[in-house]
Structure 1
């Protein structure tokens, strides 16, 4: 089950990193992988995926525009109980730090999220992506510090909570990821960014559990950036 904020749910016309990962897994010996979750739409309820052939059954997720650990910790237990994922692929934290909670409270909400998921399915495993600071961190030193602080706390949380029964894996920053090339507005992934996010999860799944295969990120041209990027 893919879990995340606007970077995960995507908007009308996006492929999404979920799509990239699903296709990669199907090509790498994990063709029976199912994506599950209570939602399937893009931002504002759109079904306009860039590839209309993306099967409806593979679009399932638990992601929301403007939602973070704070919000999804309230619903993950029910989602896990109903849809029975064996693995959570989580990209959360940027929206929390940007609008709702500081690093310490965000880490506490992440702990609550994992506790709720495990209460619903004690053997669940998870791959977690650290926060990728967006363009706001270029000029807001306090925000940049909060992102760094949270990522340190998240690493500590993963080390503390991982167990043999319910292992947790923290990825690194996606290899080669830059805001200039891999986002279209300083936050949300461009086509190359979708591939790099998918690769972070695919490589972690393969390294931790020999699931699927390493992800070969294609060489793509950089997008022209707007003059004023979104924070």
Structure 2
């Protein structure tokens, strides 16, 4: 949902475009990776962004979640000198690797490693948003709901003045039939809605940029 696929803009692009228009200070998108997922080869090897001039740096992976990112985030923060993390993870963890409690524990490991690399890092965490499996599979939907509750508790527990954490609100009225192309991965509508969720959290919490247009 964050890395995107060949030919897409990604929500990262929508966020970047909005910040270019509404944020007065300098900013850069950073991270050790640049590619999109290539569905034809099922590998993260494509550079075919819908806008080739988009600054492509990120830390995202197709099929990677909190369990994969917790060991990587410290090195990525140190190398890129990141000071704000925008994180959308969890669906793949719950779907294939960990239950809600284990995923919440990996959130805490991720936060600890990020802070070890930069004690003043700021973070915005997005809950798992609506998806086709949660709608069709009641036990899985219950795990998503439980994880989102645990994520909110983790944010409340781990938030601190020198390294604040914001819990973004899920995009309002997010509709998997209108905002995704397969019930999970965002289409252009979904990209705007996810970008807007991160912008709204930063605007309300830190006064960064201006609200995302409807």
- Same fold per TM (> 0.5)? yes
Describe the SS at the equivalent of 2:166: strand
1:171 maps to: 168
- Deviation, 1:51, is 1.2
Work out whether 1:53 is the aligned partner of 2:53.
Answer: yes
Rounded to whole Å, the distance in 1 between the matches of 2:62 and 2:200 is 26
1:124 maps to: 121
2:178 maps to: 181
Go from structure 1 to structure 2 and tell me whether the alpha carbon gap of 1:31 and 1:188 turns closer, same or farther (over 3 Å shift). farther
Go from structure 1 to structure 2 and tell me whether the alpha carbon gap of 1:31 and 1:184 turns closer, same or farther (over 3 Å shift). farther
Of 95, 98, 113 in structure 2, the residue corresponding to residue 101 of structure 1 is 98
Of 85, 98, 103 in structure 1, the residue corresponding to residue 82 of structure 2 is 85
Describe the SS at the equivalent of 1:128: strand
Work out whether 1:10 is the aligned partner of 2:4.
Answer: yes
Describe the SS at the equivalent of 1:63: coil
Describe the SS at the equivalent of 2:23: coil
Alignment of 1:17-36 (within 5 A): 17-30=11-24, 32-36=26-30
Rounded to whole Å, the distance in 2 between the matches of 1:78 and 1:91 is 19
Deviation sequence 1:52-76 (CA, Å, 0-9, x none): 222xxx2111100000000011110
Describe the SS at the equivalent of 2:181: coil
C-alpha root-mean-square deviation of aligned residues, in Å? 0.9
Alignment of 1:195-214 (within 5 A): 195-214=192-211
The 8 Å contact of residues 129 and 172 in structure 1, kept in 2 or not, is answered as yes
- Deviation, 1:31, is 5.8
Work out whether 1:73 is the aligned partner of 2:70.
Answer: yes
Deviation sequence 1:18-40 (CA, Å, 0-9, x none): 00000100000346210000001
Return the TM-score normalized by structure 2: 0.95
The 8 Å contact of residues 169 and 201 in structure 2, kept in 1 or not, is answered as no
Describe the SS at the equivalent of 1:9: coil
Rounded to whole Å, the distance in 2 between the matches of 1:59 and 1:73 is 21
Rounded to whole Å, the distance in 2 between the matches of 1:63 and 1:75 is 11
Deviation sequence 1:202-227 (CA, Å, 0-9, x none): 1111111111110003xxxxxxxxxx
Matched positions, count: 208
Describe the SS at the equivalent of 2:203: helix
Rounded to whole Å, the distance in 1 between the matches of 2:68 and 2:141 is 22
| Structure 2: gaps (5+ residues) | 38-43
Of 38, 53, 57 in structure 1, the residue corresponding to residue 32 of structure 2 is 38
